[in-house]
A and B are shown apart, each in its own frame.
Chain A
Amino acid sequence: MKILVGIKRVVDYNVRIRVKPDGSGVDTDGVKMSINPFDEIALEEALRIKEAGKAEEVIVVSIGGDECQQQLRTGLAMGADRAIQIQTDQALQPLAAAKALLKIVQQEQPGLVLLGKQAIDDDNNQTGQMLAALWGRPQATFASQVVLEDGTATVTREVDAGLETIAVDLPAVVTSDLRLNEPRFVKLPEIMKAKRKPLDVQPLADLGIESGHQLSVTRHAPPAQRARGVMVESAAELVSELKNRGLL
């Protein structure tokens, strides 16, 4: 069985996000970029499944400009066997991303597609679901445990009410939540090996996908700054202060 893992290059989770002064987007100048943490967890899960002898090959795929090869190489250094870059300079929205991934799914015929539940840049949480629908296969989202057996994936999902366990027939799309696993550290010699692993570049246009936008972004703005707090001396003063502001 092959496992296909989608990884997205995003602003690192440690970076303080800053909106450009003209509101046209997020400032990425000199900013550290990394694999989306949920995708890294998805990749770790794929590698563990392979190491347990339940898959033969792990393929990482990313959509983006050539700079995303850096994240693909990291994925290869973690242990993926080969990488595919769907090359485009456009930032794709979830539906276009799902359509592009579907093309790779059709080429590669994986038994399992593992994606992060969402990317930490736009937090859409849509691509995995859309891919499953377009592909006509089951989906199991927000996974905190994945057990593969006899053509079935038993997936524990983190849902609002607690945990839910479902079984889905493979092939299927599984999206990872934070508690699925803790990704490994890359050993230094693996970085050298990763340089020699195959990385296939497929221009988005060659896949017959249009980057057309269903959503239009009007403006980016940082959250409003919190006003300075006021210290009150007593409960009575607090109540009168709240009343003054029409909050009581």
Chain B
Amino acid sequence: MSEREVMEYDVIVVGAGPAGLACAMHLKQLNEALNVCVIEKAAEVGAHILSGAVIEPQALDDLLPGWRDHPPPICVPAEKDEFWLLSKTGRKRLPNPPQMNNHGNFIMSLGALCAWLAPQAEALGVDIFPGYAAADIRYTDTGAVGGVIIGDMGVAKDGSRKATYVEGIEIHAPVTVLAEGCRGHLSKRLIQRFELDKDCDPQTYGIGIKELWRVETGKARPGLIQHSIGWPLDRQTYGGSFIYHLDKDRVALGFITALDYRDARLSPFEAFQQFKHHPSIRPLLEGGEILSSGARAVVEGGYQSLPKTEMPGALLIGDAAGTLNVPKIKGTHQAVRGGMLAAAHLAQSLSSEGFDRKLRRSPVVAELKKVRNIRPGFNKGLWAGLRTAVIETVTGGRLPRTLSNHADHRMLKKLDDYSPPDRDWVERELPPRDRLASVYFAATDHEEDQPVHLKVADTDICISQCTEEYGNPCTRFCPAGVYEMVEDQSGRNLQINAANCVHCKTCDIKDPYQIIDWVTPEGGSGPNYQNL
């Protein structure tokens, strides 16, 4: 193999999300002389970012005092919170949990926020490289992380080099900051290699699917924040919806299904579409127009699943580490604070050593510890979960107990061992018609002639064992319809429509045999989210 071209930096940040950008910006704020770059696999900053998002602004105040005078393009002050329990035909207002009191917060688009932060980071002297995927880790002679290897461009599906082939370069730095977001593919490798999760519970996740709509004039009530639990999910499946009313007749809505669900027949995409047809929701959307859609896994494990966040030569921050606060359904403020904390640490020494201790003594982890038992409380069902939530909230998380988390892919029940609840789902009329139509609104784009970036280790398992035991749940949990079982002369085969992938990482997480490995496609591929 030829020697790759090399660029040198003081700090490499992988991922231009809120954690990565905050870290890079704060490094330059603390020491202008540091050379800092941010690698981003999306064609543009923000194009792979998807979040609710109601954002606590205090961390932004710390990063950019005065930001309120020139706010990001979507920024609507929170006005009113509503929390509902849905049944198929009705709904009941529940008292608002204190974690979900959003007074003083803002409804934003996290994608738009990051796109708005990027030029400000560049003005501080950060080099941002959108359209380049950090495909692999570069290790030093001592086995420490020594930077990243950018993915090659112009490789054909069969692995041969096309006329446009360009070898990816290496970027070397004393410290690499992994800010890839939930289930980052490099973070996943590093957690395994350095056994960063050996003293914590397995990480757990949810799959969030979101759409941005323009509704009929007058229907959106800017600042209104609505959450629901209950229908269309059964009592054993954790999840719920959000509807955030924006300005300009726009409404952001979405549905999160926890990936520890048991029913192999469940389709989280279908659950979201069903939710939209609830009698209390449907009138809001009727006559409206879908503008944008997408999906992204959400990290839910919290305090007890937080891996060690440092290793030789590298740090984990934001959702790559897993600092999202589930009861608040918020991770941005945690990501920004964590990113700034990493910057403060690195500005002193350019060494990862000691960061984990600092993070665990910081407000970031204190916030996670306080609510640590609320999410696992729902493992015993909706009512037990709500009871635990009340107890933990009243006691402020001071009870001497920590409920444990279990790996999502182990929770799926075999078809024969599980009788699914009667879903009793309704006939749908609102767009999108199906997952392919939904992918269209994600504007996802992958060059077709490139290697498949969803590596299935053994497709024989898919055809025989998985079909029998779980009925190929990948064909249902993927929100983009990437996985299909097709029959032709050669028999029944797994077809991977990799070009549809929206980079949500659900398959990598939920596949019961853990034989799917999500790797980066050619840089610049993937969804082109607008204002998600």
Interface residues of A (CB under 8 A from B): 12, 14-16, 18, 21, 29-32, 182-185, 187-189, 191-192
When chains A and B are docked, how far (Å) is the Cα of A31 from the Cα of B111? 11
Other CB < 8 Å A-B pairs besides A16-B443, A192-B127, 6 of them? A15-B443, A21-B249, A30-B530, A32-B43, A187-B5, A191-B127
B523 closest partner in A (C-beta): A185
Q: Which residues of A contact B132 (CB under 8 A)?
A: 188
For the complex of A and B, the 7 pairs showing the least CB-CB separation, nearest first, are A185-B153, A30-B531, A185-B166, A30-B530, A14-B445, A14-B443, A32-B44
When chains A and B are docked, how far (Å) is the Cα of A191 from the Cα of B37? 12
Query: What are 11 of the A-B contact pairs (CB < 8 Å)?
Result: A14-B445, A15-B528, A32-B528, A185-B154, A185-B164, A185-B166, A187-B5, A188-B132, A189-B5, A191-B129, A192-B127
Q: Which residues of A contact B5 (CB under 8 A)?
A: 187, 189
- Assuming the contacts A14-B443, A16-B441, A189-B169, asked whether A30 and B73 have C-beta atoms less than 8 A apart, the reply is yes
**Does A32 lie within 8 Å of B47, measured CB to CB?**
yes
Does chain A have a CB within 8 A of B440?
A: yes
Does chain A have a CB within 8 A of B486?
A: no
- Assuming the contacts A188-B132, A189-B7, asked whether A15 and B530 have C-beta atoms less than 8 A apart, the reply is yes
Q: Closest CB-CB distance, A30 to chain B, in whole Å? A: 4
Q: Closest CB-CB distance, B524 to chain A, in whole Å? A: 9
Does chain A have a CB within 8 A of B196?
A: no
**Does B291 lie within 8 Å of A18, measured CB to CB?**
yes
**Does B528 lie within 8 Å of A14, measured CB to CB?**
yes
Q: Which residues of B contact A12 (CB under 8 A)?
A: 43, 528
B527 closest partner in A (C-beta): A14
Q: Closest CB-CB distance, B244 to chain A, in whole Å? A: 16
Does chain A have a CB within 8 A of B112?
A: yes
Interface residues of B (CB under 8 A from A): 5, 7, 43-44, 46-47, 73-74, 109, 111-112, 115, 127, 129, 132, 150, 153-154, 163-164, 166, 168-169, 171, 214, 249, 291, 440-441, 443, 445, 528, 530-531
Q: Which of A14, A21, A30, A184 has the most CB of B within 10 A?
A: A30
- Assuming the contacts A15-B530, A189-B169, asked whether A30 and B112 have C-beta atoms less than 8 A apart, the reply is yes
Q: Which residues of A contact B154 (CB under 8 A)?
A: 185
When chains A and B are docked, how far (Å) is the Cα of A14 from the Cα of B43? 11
When chains A and B are docked, how far (Å) is the Cα of A189 from the Cα of B127? 11
Q: Which residues of B contact A184 (CB under 8 A)?
A: 164, 166
Q: Which residues of A contact B46 (CB under 8 A)?
A: 30
**Does A188 lie within 8 Å of B7, measured CB to CB?**
yes
**Does B531 lie within 8 Å of A29, measured CB to CB?**
yes
- Assuming the contacts A184-B164, A185-B166, A188-B7, asked whether A29 and B73 have C-beta atoms less than 8 A apart, the reply is yes
Q: Which residues of B contact A191 (CB under 8 A)?
A: 127, 129
Q: Closest CB-CB distance, B238 to chain A, in whole Å? A: 32
- Assuming the contacts A29-B73, A30-B109, asked whether A188 and B169 have C-beta atoms less than 8 A apart, the reply is yes
Q: Which residues of A contact B443 (CB under 8 A)?
A: 14-16, 32
A33 closest partner in B (C-beta): B44
B168 closest partner in A (C-beta): A188
**Does B169 lie within 8 Å of A187, measured CB to CB?**
yes
Q: Which residues of B contact A188 (CB under 8 A)?
A: 7, 129, 132, 150, 168-169, 171
Q: Which of A18, A32, A183, A188 has the most CB of B within 10 A?
A: A188
When chains A and B are docked, how far (Å) is the Cα of A192 from the Cα of B291? 35
